Every structure is written in structure tokens, then in C-alpha cells.
Amino acid sequence: MSTQQDYEAFIAKIAEQTGIAALVPDEGGLVSVRVEETYVLNLQYVEASSKILCFLEIGRIPQDAGAAVYRELLAAGLFGQETGGGYFALEPTENTVVYHYLFDFDPTVTDPEAFVRALEKILALADLWAGRLAQVTDEPAAPAAGGDAMLLRP
């Protein structure tokens, strides 16, 4: 992506391909779409780097969560081995684990079909991590988004 207009045209192609009319960037380039009542998938155009940031909430962890939770998240992020190249962050007010992935010189940002497949993999990864966090925190997991690799397809 080289401009905001290129990004908007790319998102329009994805909306057309998936049939999801809600894929419309706001004036700042943010697109938010609810997926299967489980996740809100966000795409943000980053003008300074001409890249696309994808982020979504994975789940909340208890305020008094032990070190095992943080160890699990940090260990998974080592070289992106268990995160598909993305990263976890913690929103401190609500203790929400947020996964983010930066499409950085990635060929998927020129192919709408490949981009949708990448987003589906991110959603499948979110399901996996929601379950892992639930195990480590002894909290119930959020309902799975599907896992059929067709989450963004009509």
C-alpha cells in the first residue's frame, strides 16, 4: 500500500469478495468488523509506514493472574513461533490481551484472496490462544469463532 486511497480500494475489493458491507474504512483508515459474535477484527492503515495493522482482542485475564499467564504469552512470541509472526500486548485498564499483526511488505496486501486467507488464519490463531489463556487462567474461554477457515466468506 502506498496511499490511503490504495488501502481503501484494496478494502473495497475485499468487501466485494467477502460480501461484508461493513468493511468500510473511517477517515483515519480504521475498519472494524464483528466476526461470528466472538471477535472484533480491526484493520488500520498506518500512513507513516504505508502498512496495514490487524488487531483483535483475544480475551481478558484476571487482575491477579500468575506469572504462568505472562510466561505463556512471552514465550509464544519468541521469534513469532507460536503467534504466526504477530505479537501480544496487554491493555492495562481491562487486562485485555490484544493480538496484533503488521502486514509489512507482505505480498498478501496486493491479493485480496490471499489477504482474506491470512485474516482467517489470524482468527483461527485467536481461537487457539483464547483456549490456551483459559487453561492457564482457569477462566472460561470465549466461544470459538468457528475454525472452519471460512470465517470471512459469504
Tens-digit pLDDT string for the chain (154 aa):
678 888 888 999 998 888 888 888 888 889 999 888 889 999 999 988 888 999 999 988 888 888 888 888 888 888 888 888 899 999 989 999 999 999 876 676 778 888 889 999 999 999 999 988 888 777 555 444 444 433 454 4
Contact 149, 128 (CB under 8 A): no
Burial class (CB within 10 angstroms; exposed 0-12, middle 13-18, buried 19+) of 12 = middle
- Dist CA 153 CA 89 (whole Å): 28
Q: What is the CATH number of domain 4-137?
A: 3.30.1460.10
pLDDT of residue 145: 46
Q: What ranges do the domains of the chain cover?
A: 4-137
